[in-house]
Amino acid sequence: MPSYLLTVGMEVHVELETKTKIFCGCPNDPFESQPNSHVCPVCYGLPGALPLLNQEAVAMTVKLGRALKGVVAEETFWARKNYFYPDLPKGYQISQSTKPLVEKASVMIDGESHLINRIHLEEDAGKLIHSADGKSSLVNFNRAGVPLVEIVTEPDFHTPEAAKRFCQELQRIVRTLKISAADMEKGKMRCEANISVSTTDQLGVKVEVKNINSFRAVEKAIKYEYDRQIAALEAGGKIIQETRNWDDPKGKTVAMRTKETSADYRYFPEPDLPTVEIAEEIGGEIQLPEEKRAKLVEIGLPKELIHPIVDKNGFETVVKIAESSKEKAIEAGKTLVAIPEFLLLNEHDQIVFLALRGANGWSKETSAELIHKTITEKQKIEEVSKKFEHTTDLSSEVAEVIKEQAKAVADYKAGKEPLFNFLVGQVMAKTHGRANISAVREELTKQLG
């Protein structure tokens, strides 16, 4: 048997979390609300209803494009993608065709670059709910008109794992940019894979697999298609260009329809919306997960901790601690990954507990217990925090800490500078982590001075 090279391109749809829908003022809340409660003539596609563009959706897409170093169009237009389906009352989807908002972007994962062909913006359709007996279907239009960003990669992946890793990284990125929670189980992020196999340097006939609803399924569906296509070719058959559905319970792909080409959609410019000019200033500095990981490598954190620290929101804490000691930062990273309760704390609380633990030599269990107690005492914390949200006068708390921690204060004054952070941690603990940390530093410097 010749060796077959797998090639995969991904198409990922992500729902943007704007306040309102993309072409009308209805709330963008398709999940928690009563069916058909967030709808209007635009959502229903009633004759004469006119779309009005939501700038926030465009800004979010441009933000993503700039973060991924893509080429952002200076000007773009909308296109009608025509097809019939009961969840699409207009009979067309407003999307983008020849001039997407973003082209030629890329995603770096652990030093490896993956190319993105285009990122465009479009509207989501409604949702069909089929009755258990298969005799009737209901439609909910709350999702109709939710802004949807579509990310299309180059045929850039040669293993199922690489394709899965890309989807996971994309989820991290949109979460970092705060444009979508991208939960796959809620359908806020939906993956499709274009899969082919070949024994030459020419790409084989591609098969599109839809309805992949988890990261695990991305890997399984691609693996299944790879095996299926090789078996078909080895048996003397041909691969036909088609769309297949991933049946997760059965663990296989099932033929849906022979593949439509873009000509079948009869794209034409949307006459009810003007062209869009993109402002220069959208975007700004955002640290992507890859950049955070590179920073942790630089600090010298062990390889196996790097992904968990970034994924579990420990990055800021570790970097802050590294400013005074790399060893302590590595220790902090280990603790953050080992104690899941840390994930519920904000950066300041994390530092407080790490400082307490380091200073007292407490075991991880003791720290975890302490954190648990803190979380269950949330009510009390809220009361205390109210006080510290509205005051910058920390003189009595700082004075108490100086009195209680006489030895640490003496050591600090004798030149053990890192103890300053410990004292900050003590004051923060007194205020349940709610005081402004620079105000604490200022007051401590003043009283220790």
Name the residues that contact Zn ion, by CB under 5 A. 24, 26, 40, 42-43
Residue 42 binding result from Zn ion, Mn ion, none, given CB thresholds of 5 to 8 Å by partner type: Zn ion
The DSSP letter of residue 153 is E
* Chain centroid, CA 240 distance in Å: 34
CB of 38 to Zn ion, least distance (A): 7
Is the Cβ of residue 100 or residue 160 nearer to Mn ion in the bound state? Answer: 100
CB of 126 to Zn ion, least distance (A): 11
* Integer CA distances (angstroms), 13 to 41, 167, 171, in order: 25, 11, 11
**Cβ within 8 Å of residue 226, ≥6 positions away:** 4, 6, 160, 195, 197
- Do 292 and 317 meet the contact criterion of CB atoms below 8 Å apart? no
CB of 379 to Zn ion, least distance (A): 40
Is the Cβ of residue 12 or residue 68 nearer to Mn ion in the bound state? Answer: 12
**Cβ within 8 Å of residue 252, ≥6 positions away:** 224, 228, 246
CB of 120 to Mn ion, least distance (A): 8
H helix and E strand count, the chain: 15, 16
**Cβ within 8 Å of residue 231, ≥6 positions away:** none
* Element of type H or E holding 75: strand 75-76
Is the Cβ of residue 14 or residue 330 nearer to Mn ion in the bound state? Answer: 14
**Cβ within 8 Å of residue 412, ≥6 positions away:** 419, 420, 423, 448
Subset of 154-193 contacting Mn ion (CB under 5 A): none
Residue 424 binding result from Mn ion, Zn ion, none, given CB thresholds of 5 to 8 Å by partner type: none
Residue 192 binding result from Mn ion, Zn ion, none, given CB thresholds of 5 to 8 Å by partner type: none
CB of 177 to Mn ion, least distance (A): 20
- Do 288 and 106 meet the contact criterion of CB atoms below 8 Å apart? no
CB of 339 to Zn ion, least distance (A): 46
The DSSP letter of residue 125 is -
CB of 58 to Zn ion, least distance (A): 18
Residue 150 binding result from Zn ion, Mn ion, none, given CB thresholds of 5 to 8 Å by partner type: Mn ion
Subset of 76-105 contacting Mn ion (CB under 5 A): none
Residue 40 binding result from Zn ion, Mn ion, none, given CB thresholds of 5 to 8 Å by partner type: Zn ion
Residue 17 contacts Mn ion per CB under 5 A: no
Is the Cβ of residue 26 or residue 94 nearer to Zn ion in the bound state? Answer: 26
Q: Which stretch binds Mn ion (CB under 5 A): 35-43, 149-157, 228-236, 350-358?
A: 149-157
- Of 162, 83, 183, nearest to 115 (Cα)? 162
Is the Cβ of residue 150 or residue 156 nearer to Mn ion in the bound state? Answer: 150
CB of 266 to Zn ion, least distance (A): 25
Is the Cβ of residue 191 or residue 336 nearer to Mn ion in the bound state? Answer: 191
Is the Cβ of residue 116 or residue 332 nearer to Mn ion in the bound state? Answer: 116
Is the Cβ of residue 42 or residue 409 nearer to Zn ion in the bound state? Answer: 42
The β-bridge relationship of strands 75-76 and 276-277 is antiparallel
Helix axes 378-389, 364-376, angle to 10 degrees: 80
Residue in this structure with the two tokens 């080992």, named with its chain if needed: 338
**Cβ within 8 Å of residue 205, ≥6 positions away:** 196, 238, 239, 240, 241
DSSP 103-158: EEEEEEETTEEEEEEEEEEEE---EEEE-TTSS-EEEEGGGTT-EEEEEEE-S-B-
Residue 290 binding result from Mn ion, Zn ion, none, given CB thresholds of 5 to 8 Å by partner type: none
Size of the site for Mn ion (CB under 5 A): 1
* Element of type H or E holding 334: helix 326-338
Is the Cβ of residue 52 or residue 448 nearer to Zn ion in the bound state? Answer: 52
Residue 24 binding result from Zn ion, Mn ion, none, given CB thresholds of 5 to 8 Å by partner type: Zn ion
Residue 125 binding result from Zn ion, Mn ion, none, given CB thresholds of 5 to 8 Å by partner type: none
The span from the CA of 346 to the CA of 373, in Å, is 15
Burial label for 160, CB within 10 Å (0-12, 13-18, 19+), is buried
Is the Cβ of residue 36 or residue 97 nearer to Mn ion in the bound state? Answer: 97
What are the E-state strand segments in 276-411?
Answer: 276-277
CB of 398 to Mn ion, least distance (A): 57
CB of 79 to Mn ion, least distance (A): 12
Q: Pick from 15, 17, 123, 150 the residue near Mn ion by CB under 5 A.
A: 150
Q: Quick one: tokens of 281?
A: 């200033």
Name the residue number minimizing CB distance to Mn ion.
150
Q: Which stretch binds Mn ion (CB under 5 A): 146-154, 190-198, 339-347, 355-363?
A: 146-154
Q: Quick one: tokens of 278?
A: 């993109």
**Sites of contact with Mn ion (CB under 5 A):** 150
